[in-house]
Amino acid sequence: MSSHHIVRDDQEPALIIANGASCSFELLGQLLEWSPIVVVLDNAIERVLQLDIKVDVLLGDFDDNFNPEIYKEKQFPIEIVHTPDQNKTDLEKAFEYLIEKGHHAVNVIWATGKRADHTISNITNIVRFRNTLKIVILDDHSKIFLLPYKFEKWYPKNTPISLIPIGKVEGITTQNLFYPLHNEQLSIGYRTGSSNHVAQDGIVKIEHTDGDLLLMECFD
Examine the pLDDT at 58 and tell me if it is beyond 90: yes
Examine the pLDDT at 186 and tell me if it is beyond 80: yes
Task: Note the pLDDT of residue 8.
Answer: 54
Helix, strand or coil for residue 30?
helix
The answer for residues whose C-beta is within 8 angstroms of residue 138's C-beta and 6 or more apart is 23, 27, 31, 107, 108, 109, 144
Rg of the chain, C-alpha, whole Å: 18
Q: Locate the DSSP E strands across the chain.
A: 14-17, 38-41, 57-60, 79-82, 105-109, 134-138, 142-146, 150-155, 160-175, 184-187, 193-197, 202-207, 210-218
At 10, the pLDDT band (50, 70, 90 cuts) reads low
Task: Note the pLDDT of residue 37.
Answer: 95
Higher pLDDT, 95 or 67: 95
Rounded to an integer, the average pLDDT of 148-174 is 97
Examine the pLDDT at 181 and tell me if it is beyond 90: yes
Rounded to an integer, the average pLDDT of 40-46 is 90
Examine the pLDDT at 130 and tell me if it is beyond 80: yes
pTM, two decimal places: 0.90
